[in-house]
A = this chain, B = another copy of it.
Amino acid sequence: MFNRQTYELGSKRSCIRELFEYGIKQAAVVGAENVFDYSLGNPSVPAPPEVNQSIVDILSTESSLAVHGYTTAAGLPKTRAAIAEDLNERYGLSLRAENFFMTGGAAQAIISVLRALHLDEQTEILTPAPHFAEYRPFIEGTGNRYVRVPADTATFQINLSALEKLVSPHTQAVLINSPNNPSGAIYTRENLQGLAEILKQKAAEYGHPIYVISDEPYRELVYTGEQVPFVPSIYPDTIVCYSWSKSLSLPGERIGYFLVPDQVTDAAALYAATAGAARVLGHVCASSLMQRVIERCARVRPDVEQYKENRQLLYEALTEMGYTCVPPDGAFYLMVKAPDGDGQAFSDAAKAYNLLIVPTDDFGLPGYVRLSYCVSNDMIKRSLPAFKKLRQQYL
């Protein structure tokens, strides 16, 4: 009676959500202070004060009709100009306001692009593992074929030789995410240049562009002191999808954009097709209030010190206990290898110690768990004895 695909998506609980809800129940039994929840990527650093100051300022100085009224579908020109200006300064670019389209977060932006690129049942979207768990439903939900590029578990960079073999005449795009959820890896300039070379060659061979969709919500959450390479500067046919969920700690407000730089092949048509896709996905405009906040906060950067401390504490303590961890350069996730190679069993065993850690099977790479360290530093410290006991179980 109902659409099978959406019924299954709506009925099957996500593993992350199940762990999170188990944690709430368990907290009622053993006390909240004894549950160590590493399941959710919900920022633990509050939004910078400029955000709420901007809201109060907007409400007290602008007319309610304007503040809460419709904007154009693409968004307020001033907001888009502020974003363009900020990126131009940081990366030496010449983006224009008209290259941007404000969306209700990165998910809506990515899905709009995937929908616009969908041609027929054979259309393929490649995505290098490990990848954000929602990519598969996003790709398949827009009618496209999900093609996983196996991980390079030595470096957690894009596995270029594996990718090269998977590109086909039906490949419309490669969906990447750096800094990466769940690995914390930042794709290097060299790695991205390798990707660019493969795609340019294949695009020439097949006679049509192959786009990169660069999902960048963690762009500003970096611990190495270096700037994340800006993908459109390396591969011209790149569409950027962005969200302020992590960088300004606004995940509940759903504010982001897609960016189609002028250099992109058929840029105007792709922008139009993506805007049209957004329309049939239910997009009318991004929150008019939040657009005004972003206009004022486009240059505000997150305070990553707390995440940095958490990362160091957790990585060092777990490594010292004998766990094998992937050293994260950005985002706020730590991947830990399941001692016996079974991530689901590792996650299940951890539950006995009230440690909530997510197996990475849905991230396209089994055998690991993901720990979100966007939690209090204190919780990490209190959780260490539990990790120690869990480790001993595997000796």
- Which residues of A are at the interface with B, using a C-beta cutoff of 8 A? 1-3, 5-11, 40, 42-44, 46-47, 51-52, 55-56, 59, 63-65, 67-71, 103-105, 107-112, 115-119, 134, 137-138, 140-142, 208-209, 249-254, 266, 269-277, 279-290
Cross-interface CB contact of A104 among B59, B104, B116, B277, cutoff 8 Å: B104
Q: Are A70 and B272 in contact (CB under 8 A)?
A: no
Q: Are A3 and B115 in contact (CB under 8 A)?
A: yes
Q: Nearest B residue to A63 by beta-carbon distance? A: B46
Q: Are B266 and A2 in contact (CB under 8 A)?
A: yes
Complex CA gap A138/B287 in Å reads 20
Complex CA gap A65/B48 in Å reads 10
Complex CA gap A104/B282 in Å reads 8
Cross-interface CB contact of A107 among B275, B284, B288, cutoff 8 Å: B284
Q: How far is the CB of A21 from chain B (nearest CB, A)?
A: 9
Tell me which of A56, A71, A208, A253 has the highest count of chain B C-beta atoms within 10 A of its own C-beta. Answer: A253
19 cross-chain CB contacts under 8 A: A1-B119, A2-B269, A2-B273, A3-B119, A3-B277, A7-B272, A11-B276, A42-B69, A46-B65, A51-B68, A56-B56, A68-B252, A103-B282, A107-B283, A112-B282, A137-B280, A252-B288, A254-B284, A254-B285
Q: Which residues of B contact A142 (CB under 8 A)?
A: 280
Q: Nearest B residue to A107 by beta-carbon distance? A: B282
Instruction: Using known A-B contacts A280-B138, A282-B111, determine if residue A269 contacts B70 with beta carbons closer than 8 Å.
Output: no
Complex CA gap A202/B275 in Å reads 38
Tell me which of A1, A11, A70, A107 has the highest count of chain B C-beta atoms within 10 A of its own C-beta. Answer: A1
Instruction: Using known A-B contacts A56-B59, A59-B55, A252-B288, determine if residue A137 contacts B68 with beta carbons closer than 8 Å.
Output: no
Q: Are A266 and B115 in contact (CB under 8 A)?
A: no
Q: Which residues of B contact A140 (CB under 8 A)?
A: 280
Give me 14 other A-B pairs in contact (C-beta within 8 A), A6-B279, A10-B276, A253-B289 excluded.
A2-B269, A5-B276, A5-B280, A6-B115, A6-B276, A11-B273, A11-B276, A67-B252, A68-B250, A68-B253, A70-B252, A111-B280, A141-B281, A287-B290
